[in-house]
Amino acid sequence: MSSVPERSEVDEDYTWNLESIYASDDDWESAYEAVAERVDELAAYEGQVTDDADTLLETLELRDEVMREVSMVASYARMRRDEDTTNQEYQALTARAQSLASDAHSAASFIDPELQELTREEFDAMVDAESDLETYDHYVDDVLRMKPHTRSAEVEELLAELGEVTGATGEVYNMLANADMSFPTVEDADGEAVEVTQSNFVNLLKRPDREFRRTVHEEYYDEWETLRNTVASAYKNSVKADVKTAQARNYDTAREAALDGPNVPVDVYDTLVDSVHENIDKLHHHAELKRQALEVDDLQMWDVYMPLTGDEGPDVEYDQAAEWVVESLAPLGEDYQSRVAEGLDSRWVDVYENEGKQSGAYSGGTYDTQPFILMNYQDDISSMYTLAHELGHSMHSELTKDEQPFVYSNYEIFVAEVASTVNEALLTNHLLETVDDPEFRKHVLNEFLERVRSTLYRQTLFAEFEHEAHRLEEESEPLTADRLDELYRGLKEEYYEPAVVDDRIAREWMRIPHFYRAFYVYQYATGISAALAIVDDVLPNGAGGDPNRDAAEDYLEFLRRGSREYPLELLRIAGVDMSTSEPIDRALESYGQRLEEMDALLDEAN
């Protein structure tokens, strides 16, 4: 029987080094108690923030010091919990850390409203009096920009305190999906029992045995069906919380509120959706190629993840993947490349799945720690790309910390997904240029096509779903499980027109954790569009860009800037203008060209 190991069975070399944050849980406890006391220090500045330049600087520096310490406490607790989400001790530590973070944000909630009592001219005068305040110039500009949507200090404190409550549905969903749910064990063609998990579900849908895939698909979604009312209630209340919070901040819609935070115009969202729909025929072509490659009459939903090569991809062990990823980063310079290699040797990555481990992958850590990457590596090409992806996030954080103060270290997701996807695109280029095995090359080409399909098209589908779900709530239409199924199914039918959309796939919305962080997923689609344009400029054989500029250095400068400018301004440093459809159109054009290449390869094989 294929089984998932216990945490204790995983080689330490393939686990992350959380002891580099706190050597023991006792040390965490001491840090928790120390920063909990510091939170109260902030209250002394309430009502005095803008009295003079010295007081303003003291307030902002104290706030940053406290938040730095809180982030370390919270990050450690969360990552310990994610090692085994069934561990009650670390669930408790995480809950305490989340409460502390909520308390800290509540304690600091008076700062922005008081800052908004200043005019821009008054702040500039304070900078003249205390030059160290210049560090906060962009931060203050952002605070003043948000004045129409910032409430009184009393209301802001209440909203901060309610943050833990309004975000509770996501926490409930996370525990349900990762700790409490269990999926059936299914038998493969060889009679071997295979345990279905959140982490391996998609991978199992890439197995060549079609009947096995159908069984996995049906058993997995049937398990979700047993919880449809619970999950629908969780999502409905998550959407409701988004809408009510937006209304409390004087926004017309939850989407407007979400995009205004990073100062991304709503037009960017709509341009993405419009551009994807104008190129939906390319996705239909991809689906038709899958049907032909699989030699089936109808493409079913359990066939969608199958590669165009028609069989399982080659095994790629983690150590080989790490080597290829490092090599692929050469166009970004020796310093960038060697820093990644050193990080991999320093246990940045928690590599393999274990019982109870948080599903998926992410890059974590804080301003004062090394990066930490959670993975559930499956010895395949897709996992190798996930490693490259998360290392992009980690290096973005590292380069930002090198150049920026803490206040600009938490860059927006809109730009973060560019860094991760640049690494993926560089990996594709490197493998196609250096690996001779024709079958392996076909799998790499297929991976590129799947990444665009799943990142640009699929995430845009998700973006449409959550936009419509929030619109229904804003118009007081009930968000029942049946209505959500209907909405999701309609989008699936539009995007995957050549395929058979069955009743079970209409429940797919239930398994998407990103929906509990509203209007997040569209940034994957804009990110891959910007990234492909940047890589086209950076590569020596790239077709785009200005030959008179150093595209790689411009890109690295973009990474170093953190959040010191707004997202669209940052991307212009890297040579990309996301206020237009041009990067999206370039990405979709590249996707179409690769589809034609694959079509020709499949014809040759036949």
Residues designated catalytic:
390
Element (H, E) at 160: helix 153-166
Q: How far apart are CA 175 and CA 475, in angstroms?
A: 30
| Location of structure tokens 């779900």 | 469
Written as six digits, the tokens of 69 are 């310490």
Q: Please state, in angstroms and rounded to a whole number, the distance separating the CA atoms of residues 247 and 263.
A: 18
Q: What 8-state DSSP symbol labels residue 265? A: -
- CA–CA separation, 78 and 97 (whole Å): 8
Q: 50 Cβ partners below 8 Å, 6+ apart?
A: 56, 114, 115, 117, 118, 122
Q: How far apart are CA 340 and CA 333, in angstroms?
A: 11
Instruction: Compute the distance between CA of residue 429 and CA of residue 538 in angstroms, rounded to an integer.
Output: 11
Q: At what angle do helices 153-166 and 88-107 cross, to 10 degrees?
A: 170
The SS3 assignment for 309 reads coil
State in Å, rounded, how far the first CA of the chain is from the last one. 37
CA dihedral over 334, 339, 340, 345, signed as positive or negative: positive
Residue type (1 letter), 417: E
| Structure tokens that stand for 98 in this block | 């989340």
Name the amino acid, one letter, at 237.
Answer: N
Letter string b/e over residues 136-167, b meaning 16 or more CB atoms within 10 A of that residue's CB? bebbbebbbeeeeebeebeebbebbebbbebb
Residues counted in the chain:
606
Centre a 10 Å sphere on the Cβ of residue 5 and count the other Cβ atoms it contains: 12
Residue 467's H or E segment, with its range, is: helix 458-474
Distances, alpha carbon 571 to alpha carbons 10, 133, 289, 524, 566, in Å: 40, 26, 35, 15, 9
Distance of CA 513 to the CA centre of its chain: 11
- Are 319 and 386 in contact by the 8 Å Cβ rule? The answer is no
- Interacting residues of 442 by C-beta distance below 8 A, sequence separation 6+: 308, 309, 598, 601
Cα distance between residue 436 and residue 423, in whole Å: 21
Cα torsion through 93, 99, 105, 110, rounded to 10: -150
